[in-house]
Amino acid sequence: MTSLDTLSFWLAVAGTVAFAVTAVLAVADRGVDIFGVIVLGVITAVGGGTMRDLILGEPVFWSGNLLLVQIAIFASIAAFVGRSFFTQPQVFTLMLYLDAVGAALFGMQGALKTWEMGFGGLLGAVMLGVLTAIGGGLMRDVLAGRQTLLMSSEIYAIPVLIGSSALVLLLGVFPEAHTETVLACAFFTFSMRVIAIHWNLRVPSYLITKSKIDAPDHSVRWDRKD
C-alpha cells in the first residue's frame, strides 16, 4: 500500500475501534450481555457503510474482507471486559476524539464513493456521506432503546453534513484532486467535532423544538377521551 493508503487504513481501524467501544460504553449500564455487546459494537462500527452500499446497490464493503468486522468484535469484547478502564474520564474523552476521526473519515469516504458513482447528484452524495458516518449509531440507539443522535442537541451529524457538502462542492470544481479534497474535508469535519467536544457545544436553543415539559400546553390533547 502507498503511504496514503496506509494512513487511510489505520484511520479506518481507529474509527472502527472507537465506534465499537463507544457503542459498548453507551449501553454499559443497561445490563447487556456479551453477545448483545458484540452485536451493538459491530452494528455501530459497520452499520452506516452497510446501509450506504445497500442503497447504492453495491457489494457491502466488508463482504470481501472481514478485517474491520473482526476488529469491531475484538474492540467490543475489550470494552466489555475493561469497561471500568474505558469509563475513566481521560480514556472516555480519547474515545470521543477517535470516534470523531471515524465519523469524519467514514463520512467523507461515503460521500466520495456516492459522488464517483453519480448516485443522486450532489444531494445524494451528502446524504449518504452523513448516513455512512451516523447510520451505525442510529441503529445502535434504536436497538438499545436510547435517544438517537438526531433527537438530541449534540453537535455530531452537523459537522459531517457540512464536511460532506464542502467535499462534493470542491470535487465539482477540482474533480481530479480527490485525495487532497477528501483529506482536507475530513480534517475540517474532525476539527468541528473536536471543538464541539472540547467546549461542550450544543445546537442553539432557537433551532430546537420545545418539549412537552418546556413548552406551555396551548395545543389540543389528542389523547382525551371526552
Give the DSSP letter string of 20-78.
HHHHHHHTGGGT--HHHHHHHHHHHHHHHHHHHHHHHTPPPTTSS--HHHHHHHHHHHH
Is 80 a residue whose pLDDT tops 50? yes
Which pLDDT value is given to residue 213? 55
Buried b (16+ CB within 10 A) or exposed e, 141-156: bebbeeeeeeeeebbb
- Of 93, 90, 106, the C-alpha closest to 190 is 106
Question: In this predicted model, which residue has the larger pLDDT, 163 or 8?
Answer: 163
Q: Around Cβ 123, how many Cβ atoms within 10 Å?
A: 11
Residue 2 — very low, low, confident or very high, per pLDDT cuts 50/70/90? low
Residue type, 16: T
Give the lowest-confidence range in 41-45, 93-97, 129-133, 176-180. 176-180
Which range is most confident: 34-43, 89-98, 169-178, 200-209? 34-43
Asked whether the beta carbons of 95 and 21 are under 8 A apart, the reply is yes
Rg from Cα positions in the chain: 19
pTM recorded for the entire structure: 0.89
Which pLDDT value is given to residue 217? 44
Cα 89 to Cα 21, 31, 81, 113: the distances in Å are 14, 21, 17, 36
Q: What percent of the chain has pLDDT over 90?
A: 62
Residue 137's SS3 state is helix
Which pLDDT value is given to residue 221? 38
Residue 147's SS3 state is coil
Is 222 a residue whose pLDDT tops 60? no
Is 220 a residue whose pLDDT tops 80? no
What is the C-alpha separation between 68 and 51, in angstroms, rounded? 16
Q: What percent of the chain has pLDDT over 70?
A: 91
Instruction: Enter the C-alpha cell of residue 141.
Output: 440507539
Residue 39 — very low, low, confident or very high, per pLDDT cuts 50/70/90? very high
In the chain, what's the furthest Cα-to-Cα distance?
Answer: 71
Cβ-based neighbours of 162, under 8 Å, separated by 6 or more: 188, 189, 192
